[in-house]
């Protein structure tokens, strides 16, 4: 059975916090954001517990979450980082391609990064991800540093909201105008 820090459950705390945040946003009529399950095909199922013990992914996933905020299409992926350097290997080319296409359809795409060692959350706009991604493709750094991030896109601490990303999404929208 996987433990809390095994590969299979990595990010589940962040996911739980986001799911609870999204439930609160939906309850308050602010947003409707759904977790997108990764399609799998079970190979082995434990007959006693009915738990899947071996499976394979049917297809590559796109992003973790998709939905709408006050009529605006939104998609994002949640990532964790326990250092001040975020490896771009944590983001897959098909995810970048999906987010790029989503933005071309006038949606908002971003990464929500939990810097666990700092207990901080960061909203990485797709345009910034694309800049870092292209830098890596051009032979530059295959990561970005905490110091390279725009301080205005760190999520504020808000009472009653676990991961208050809507405030920073609003800033993203204002900065696009």
List residues forming the annotated binding site for Mg(2+): 62, 64, 77, 95
Tokens of 40: 């799998």
Binding site per annotation, positions: 62, 64, 77, 95
Cβ 144 vs Cβ 86: under 8 Å: yes
CA distance 177 to 97: 23
CB atoms within 10 A of CB 97: 11
Q: Which among 149, 159, 155, 158 has a CA at the least distance from the CA of 169?
A: 155
CA 167, CA 155: separation in Å to the nearest integer?
A: 8
From residue 116, give the alpha-carbon distance in Å to each of 2, 8, 56, 133.
Answer: 20, 18, 29, 22
């Amino acid at each position: 059975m996987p433990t809390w820090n095994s590969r299979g459950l990595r990010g589940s705390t962040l996911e739980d916090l986001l799911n609870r945040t999204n439930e609160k946003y939906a309850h308050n009529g602010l947003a409707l954001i759904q977790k997108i399950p990764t399609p799998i095909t079970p190979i082995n199922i434990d007959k006693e517990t009915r738990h899947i013990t071996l499976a394979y992914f049917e297809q590559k996933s796109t992003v973790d979450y998709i939905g709408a905020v006050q009529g605006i299409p939104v998609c994002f992926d949640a990532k964790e980082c326990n250092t001040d350097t975020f490896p771009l290997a944590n983001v897959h080319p098909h995810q970048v391609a999906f987010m790029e296409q989503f933005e071309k359809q006038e949606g908002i795409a971003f990464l929500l990064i939990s810097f666990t060692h700092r207990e901080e959350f960061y909203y990485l706009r797709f345009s910034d991800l694309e800049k870092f991604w292209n830098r890596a493709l051009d032979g530059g750094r295959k990561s970005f540093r905490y110091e390279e991030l725009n301080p205005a896109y760190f999520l504020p601490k808000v009472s009653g909201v676990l991961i208050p990303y809507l405030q920073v999404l609003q800033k993203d929208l204002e900065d696009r105008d």
